[in-house]
């Protein structure tokens, strides 16, 4: 396995025990079938790059892992798991992963798309249906326990919801995520936006 980034080693070691074999398996499969990829950290998550472009990424949360392809919208990924960040839903064990043969096919298809210069489909223009925001289940579950905070969040437009969700998911450690979640709920219970401190009166 070449082109390893020690920051990803550290990321895996700090992940929950259930997540470590999942992340190690994903990493090994990507390197096995895409030997030209290189590892890096972007947005606080492990990413693989291929020919200078983002290829795929994975992440670990409290109770699940996530895996996504940069061109995932162009791949035929049929996941019956509960929705989460990425293309495969909430991965809680190796059994939730595609079998090695199918995973290898997806990796090779993704390589072909990158080699062909494929692009992510253009975002919907004004008036068209917006893509649903992917909200981590643990974030939403904690939010629903506070009626005032949930009502504020539910009334927010897409962009303001995204600010809170991104602030939470981009935390580098579980302790920081927990701290941010507590703070976010407190602010939303008071009807505040994520960046309320910087807003003009």
Residues 100-151 have pLDDT tens digits of 999 999 999 999 999 998 887 665 544 444 567 888 889 999 999 999 899 9
> What is the pLDDT confidence band of residue 29, given thresholds at 50, 70 and 90?
very high
Q: Which domain holds residue 73?
A: 6-115
- Do residues 110 and 146 both lie within one domain? no
User: Between residues 27 and 191, which one has the greater pLDDT?
Assistant: 27
Whether 167 shows a pLDDT value over 60: the answer reads yes
Instruction: Give me the pLDDT at residue 126, please.
Output: 47
Count of the separate structural domains present in the chain:
2
Q: Is 90 exceeded by the pLDDT of residue 198?
A: no
Do residue 103 and residue 146 come from a single domain?
no
Q: Helix (H, G, I), strand (E, B), or coil: what is residue 184?
A: helix
Indicate whether 200 pLDDT > 50. Answer: no
For residues 10 and 109, membership in a common domain is answered with yes
Q: How many CA atoms lie within 13 A of 102 on its CB side?
A: 10
Please tell me what DSSP assigns to residue 126: T
Report the DSSP beta bridge partners of residue 91: 65
Provide the pLDDT for residue 80. Answer: 66
> Is residue 185 included in any domain, yes or no?
yes
Segment 73-107, tens digit of pLDDT: 888 777 666 666 778 888 999 999 989 999 999 99
The predicted model gives 159-176 an average pLDDT of 89
Residue at 157 is within a domain: yes
Q: Is the pLDDT of residue 2 over 60?
A: no
pLDDT tens-place string over residues 32-44:
999 999 999 988 8
Distance (Å, whole) CA 121 – CA 143: 32
Report the distance separating Cα 15 and Cα 27, nearest Å: 14
């Amino acid at each position: 396995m070449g082109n390893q980034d020690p920051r990803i080693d550290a990321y895996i070691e700090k992940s929950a025990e259930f997540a470590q074999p999942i992340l190690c398996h994903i990493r090994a499969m990507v390197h096995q079938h895409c030997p030209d990829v290189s590892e890096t950290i972007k947005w606080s998550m492990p990413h693989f790059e291929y020919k200078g472009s983002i290829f795929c990424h994975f992440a670990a949360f409290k109770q699940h892992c996530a895996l996504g392809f940069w061109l995932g919208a162009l791949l035929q990924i049929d996941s019956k798991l509960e929705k989460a960040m990425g293309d495969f839903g909430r991965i809680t064990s190796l059994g939730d992963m595609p079998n090695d043969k199918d995973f290898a096919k997806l990796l090779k298809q993704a390589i072909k798309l990158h080699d062909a210069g494929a692009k992510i489909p253009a975002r919907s223009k004004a008036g068209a249906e917006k893509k649903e925001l992917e909200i981590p289940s643990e974030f939403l579950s904690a939010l629903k326990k506070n009626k005032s905070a949930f009502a504020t969040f539910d009334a927010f437009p897409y962009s303001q919801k995204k600010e809170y969700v991104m602030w939470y998911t981009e935390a580098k450690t579980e302790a920081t995520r927990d701290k941010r979640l507590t703070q976010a709920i407190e602010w939303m219970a008071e009807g505040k936006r994520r960046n309320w401190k910087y807003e003009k009166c």
